[in-house]
């Protein structure tokens, strides 16, 4: 029972941090053109709550390494701003991670669309063949 309560509390804290850090970072990113397209996708806390991994993704230029390396420089000031917003005794160390899972999702979606289109093309072709055979 205690471990499930701990899990719930950790998930609630992750959700709170995500809800608070997203607008902070969006406001910060507006001032830097190379960061303007980055979005926070998820937040994960370590088991002890001492480290917070913030996953970010550039929705316009995937694998934008220059912009991503700039984001890492904002960790200390972002942590301070988060501490002021949360009004908590302890705020975890922030670590920014590029979220490559979005690229995988986009690639998978593109492959599914391609397969879907091929199936539609094959169905249309088979219908044309069936109608020609039935008219003979």
How many angstroms separate the CA atoms of 91 and 96, rounded? 15
pLDDT per residue over 23-63, tens digit each?
Answer: 988 888 888 888 888 888 899 999 888 999 999 888 877 77
pLDDT-derived band at 2, boundaries 50, 70, 90: low
Q: Is the dihedral of CA 20, 21, 22, 23 positive or negative?
A: positive
Provide the pLDDT for residue 37.
84
How many angstroms separate the CA atoms of 136 and 27, rounded? 69
Provide the pLDDT for residue 58.
84
Provide the pLDDT for residue 121.
83
Residue with tokens 């039935």: 134
Provide the pLDDT for residue 136.
47
∠ at Cα 95 (10, 60), nearest 5°? 105
Provide the pLDDT for residue 51.
93
Provide the pLDDT for residue 108.
84
pLDDT per residue over 95-134, tens digit each?
Answer: 999 887 777 787 888 888 888 888 888 877 655 555 444 4
Q: Where are the beta strands (DSSP E) in 8-68?
A: 38-45, 51-58
């Amino acid at each position: 029972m205690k471990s499930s309560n701990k899990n719930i509390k950790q998930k609630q804290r992750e959700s709170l941090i995500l809800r608070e850090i997203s607008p902070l970072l969006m406001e910060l990113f507006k001032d830097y053109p190379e960061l303007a397209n980055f979005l926070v996708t998820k937040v994960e806390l370590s088991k002890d709550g001492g480290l917070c991994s913030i996953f970010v993704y550039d929705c316009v230029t995937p694998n934008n390494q220059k912009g991503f390396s700039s984001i890492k420089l904002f960790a200390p000031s972002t942590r301070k701003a988060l501490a002021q917003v949360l009004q908590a005794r302890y705020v975890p160390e922030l670590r920014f991670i590029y979220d490559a899972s979005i690229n995988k999702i986009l690639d998978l979606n593109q492959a599914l669309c391609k397969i879907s289109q091929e199936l539609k093309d094959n169905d249309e072709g088979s219908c044309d063949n069936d109608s020609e055979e039935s008219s003979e």
